[in-house]
Amino acid sequence: MCVGLLSCFTACDNEFLDRQPIDFLSPENFSNERDIREAVNGIYRAHNDLYEPIYLDFIIDNGYYVEYQLLWSRTFNNETNQIVSKWARNYQIILRANTVLHYIDDVDMPESAYNQHKGEALFLRSLAYFDLAFFYGDVPLRLKPESLDEANKPLTPEAEVVNQVLDDLETAAELLPESYTDGDRGRATKGAALALKARVLLFNHRYAEAAEYCQKVRELGVYEIYDEYDKLFLPEGEANNKEVIFDMQFEKNAQPYGLSNQWYTRLRSWSGLMVGYDLYEQYYSTNGLSINDPNNTLYDPSVRSTGLKTPSDYVKEGGYDNRFTNRDPRLHYTLIVPYSIRDYHVETGAPLVYYPSQSQNANFTSFRVRKYVDYSDNGLNNVSGVNPVIIRYADVLLMEAEALVESGAYDEEHVYSLINQVRERPGVMMPRVEIVEGRNLTQQELIDVIRHERRVEFAFEGLRIYDVMRWEIGEEAYRDLRGYRPGKLTPNNIEYELYTVQRRSFDPSKGYRWPIPKVELDANKGITQ
């Protein structure tokens, strides 16, 4: 009997020990379009990042935040958080895209769906490889999902990676549709692939081709400048926005799904996210002249003599003092200046004014960020639905202008018209370039105009670091952090004392590139240095 019992036990062993995963899936089981579609959604998810690309503006000359101090002061090394996480995040996008590209041919689906999903995967993979090559140079190039056996992978030269990106974007542009129905808003389009290709070309100094691809985007006829600069960055502007070409999708109140944007509620509630005076002074007066220009008669730095008045109009008017009035409207859409509204009371809705000298205040420049801050969510923490923009039409226009001028073969009128489209957005309405700067500018003068326009137009969109790196203007960009001393900005005795908040300098020998993360070097024996 016992022996019988024992042999029965034995027979059941294999079955007893066969336990398969219950709460997760495997790509080997992809069988229909839905599986592929969900795997594509997963690539977008990997691309969605709480910090990218916005934090990049806090490591150069636009802002300062203590969390990114190592990058800001350039005391980083190959173990610094952001340097490791950018690398890992991009390769996660790449693995997921490679998984889709590898398995999609095994699954039957309508041709339109096949084209779209393949195009999306190629586009997102290109976005990741472009970012990697730009920041790290030579990187391992993995074009299919690879297992632990292929852990050791040598570096591929940057030029080869860039060529792969350009080829893939070309294919993606052919496969992707120009637009989607509302339910699919946020997916990659033909325009996104073309615009990204223009960016890759421009950032790699291939100017003529870059201009050509910008033109292709324009000729699609899909995109146009959005009227209101502030709403361009808010959920209420999402639906009918024809300026955004590609952005990350976040949802209000979707925190358990990981889809609420906590970063932007931080911009709103954490005063430690400081804006440098460097950026502030870039915003011209409405006459198009710099506040440092002695000919600028419109700029009045005087302090108003009466006490504070009710703050209801401060956002539009530009703060308490004359220095903040008659400025490029983008100043107030982008920054919170002293004594302007920084928030609204959660219960009463009463506006709350930004007093830089407040106790427990961690802001030492007296400037904060307003761009992307959504005031409509009643003060709740960490539940914003704001979508960070990756690429928008204004960028395409300014890229084309820059590419044309840099290529040396350009028509000044055409270049002006491209820049003016951005400046003459109805919500901004800065004077046309030719009115302020005149005509027949030198190539360098034109480049300066374009570079300035990029800086004020795209502040806190994460583009500044790319521009600094490709223009190689480190000495100019990595200067001391300056601001108005908050202690002097009390309601009763206001004095705008410009001071140095934190020192830094630029050591060109360190170069612009980021080091390959140590964790990669330790584990990937294919990289020899």
Partner 1 sequence: MRRSILVVLFLSVCFNYAWSQVKRISGTVVDEEGAPIAEVTVRPDDGLAPALTNAKGVFSVSITDKTTRLVFSSVSYVTQTVPIKDSMTVNIVLKQDVIGLEEVVAIGYGTQKKANLTGAVSTVTVDEAEGRAVTSIEQLLQGKASGVGIVQNSGRPGDDMGEIRIRGISSIDNNNEPLVIIDGVQADLNDVNPQDVESVSILKDAASAAIYGSRASAGVILIETKKGKDSGGKLKLDYNGTFSLSNPTRLPEVVNSWEHMEYLNEARKNVGQADAYTPTQIENYRRQDNPQYPNTDWYDVHFQQSAMQNHYVGLRARDKNYGFSSSVSYKDQKGVLIGTAANRISYNSNLWGNFFKNKVTLSVAANGYRERVDELMENTNTVMNQMRTMWPTSYIRSIDPETGNPNLYSYAGRYIAGEELGGGINANNTQLNTRASVEIKPVKGLKAKVLVANNKYSQAYTIFRPEFYTASDFMETGTQKRESFLEKRFGRRDQNTYLFTLDYALSKGKHDMNFLLAHEKLETIYNRDDGQVREMSSNAPIFNFGDPTRLYLNSIAHEYATASYFGRINYAYANKYLLEVNFRRDGSSRFARGNQWGNFPSVSAAWRVSEEEFMQPYDFIDIKIRGSWGRLGNQNIWTQYAFADVMSGQEYYAFGNAIVPGRGTNLLADPRVRWETTEQTNLGVDLVLWNRFSMEAELFHKKTYDILARVTVPPSLGASQNPYQNIGAMTNRGVELNLSYKSPRHTDKLNYALAANFTYIKNKLSTLGELPFVDHTGNMRSVVGHPFSSFYGYQMDRIYQVQDFIWQHDSDPAIPHDDRNYVVKNGLPNQSNLMDTPAPGDVKLVDRNGDGQITPDDRTLIGNPLPKFQYGFSADLSYKQFNLNIIGHGVQGSDAYMNGHLIGPFFNTQGTITRTMVNNRWTYDNPSDKYTRLYVDKTRDALVTSYNIYDASFFRLKSVQLGYELPKKFVQRYGVDRCRVFFNAENLLLLTSFVEGFDPERSYTHVTASFHPQIASYTLGLNLNF
Site for partner 1 in 375-404 (CB under 8 A): 378-381, 385
The only residue of 64, 314, 364, 478 in contact with partner 1, by rule CB under 8 A: 364
DSSP 489-515: B-SSSB---EEEEE-----GGG-SSPP
Q: What angle do CA 104, 107, 112 make, to 5 degrees?
A: 70
Amino acid at 104: I
The only residue of 106, 167, 495, 522 in contact with partner 1, by rule CB under 8 A: 522
Question: Which is closer to partner 1, CB of 66 or CB of 435?
Answer: 66
CA gap 160, 158 in Å, rounded: 5
Checking DSSP bridges between strand 274-275 and strand 63-64, what pairing results, if any? antiparallel
Is 21 among the residues that bind partner 1 (CB under 8 A)?
Answer: yes
Helix H or strand E encompassing 369: strand 368-369
Stretch of 89-97, 157-165, 409-417, 465-473 contacting partner 1, by CB under 8 A: 89-97
The only residue of 220, 222, 259, 291 in contact with partner 1, by rule CB under 8 A: 259
CA gap 399, 454 in Å, rounded: 9
The only residue of 33, 50, 84, 296 in contact with partner 1, by rule CB under 8 A: 84
Stretch of 113-121, 165-173, 263-271, 299-307 contacting partner 1, by CB under 8 A: 263-271
CA gap 53, 130 in Å, rounded: 14
Question: Which is closer to partner 1, CB of 41 or CB of 376?
Answer: 41
Question: Which is closer to partner 1, CB of 26 or CB of 295?
Answer: 26
The only residue of 222, 254, 289, 291 in contact with partner 1, by rule CB under 8 A: 254
Q: Using the 8-state DSSP alphabet, how is residue 371 labeled?
A: T
Q: What are phi and psi of 400, to 5 degrees?
A: -65, -45
Residues in the interface with partner 1 (CB under 8 A) total 116
CA gap 94, 90 in Å, rounded: 6
Stretch of 92-100, 157-165, 305-313, 469-477 contacting partner 1, by CB under 8 A: 92-100
Amino acid at 393: Y
CA gap 480, 506 in Å, rounded: 10
CA gap 58, 356 in Å, rounded: 19
Pick out residues in 35-74 that bind partner 1 (CB under 8 A): 35, 38-46, 48, 66-67, 69-70, 73
Question: Which is closer to partner 1, CB of 429 or CB of 519?
Answer: 519
The only residue of 11, 151, 429, 498 in contact with partner 1, by rule CB under 8 A: 151
Stretch of 31-39, 163-171, 307-315, 388-396 contacting partner 1, by CB under 8 A: 31-39
Pick out residues in 474-513 that bind partner 1 (CB under 8 A): 485-487, 499, 501-503
CA gap 99, 121 in Å, rounded: 9
- Could you tell me the two tokens for 337? 């200046």
Stretch of 189-197, 213-221, 451-459, 521-529 contacting partner 1, by CB under 8 A: 521-529
Q: CB pairs under 8 A, 24+ apart, for 155-160?
A: 155/526, 155/527, 158/133
Is 4 among the residues that bind partner 1 (CB under 8 A)?
Answer: no
Q: What are phi and psi of 342, to 5 degrees?
A: -110, -15
Question: Which is closer to partner 1, CB of 170 or CB of 251?
Answer: 251
Is 11 among the residues that bind partner 1 (CB under 8 A)?
Answer: no
Q: Which residues, at least 6 apart from 84, have a Cβ–Cβ distance to it below 8 Å?
A: 78, 517, 518, 519
Pick out residues in 440-479 that bind partner 1 (CB under 8 A): none
Tell the smallest beta-carbon distance from residue 490 to partner 1 (Å).
Answer: 9
CA gap 323, 316 in Å, rounded: 14
Checking DSSP bridges between strand 498-502 and strand 481-484, what pairing results, if any? antiparallel
Q: Which x/- pattern over 153-192 shows residues binding partner 1 (rule: CB under 8 A)?
A: x--------------------------xxxxxxxx-----
Nearest of 282, 354, 387, 288 to residue 63 by alpha carbon: 282
Q: Which residue has the tokens 């339910």?
A: 183
- Could you tell me if 375 and 352 are in contact, meaning their C-beta atoms sit under 8 angstroms apart? no
Question: Which is closer to partner 1, CB of 65 or CB of 333?
Answer: 65
Q: Which residue has the tokens 């080869």?
A: 160
Q: Which x/- pattern over 333-352 shows residues binding partner 1 (rule: CB under 8 A)?
A: ---------xx-xxxx-x-x
Is 77 among the residues that bind partner 1 (CB under 8 A)?
Answer: yes
The only residue of 32, 163, 297, 358 in contact with partner 1, by rule CB under 8 A: 358
The only residue of 94, 104, 161, 415 in contact with partner 1, by rule CB under 8 A: 94
Tell the smallest beta-carbon distance from residue 364 to partner 1 (Å).
Answer: 6
CA gap 76, 359 in Å, rounded: 31
Tell the smallest beta-carbon distance from residue 402 to partner 1 (Å).
Answer: 32
Stretch of 216-224, 248-256, 413-421, 432-440 contacting partner 1, by CB under 8 A: 248-256
Tell the smallest beta-carbon distance from residue 338 to partner 1 (Å).
Answer: 15
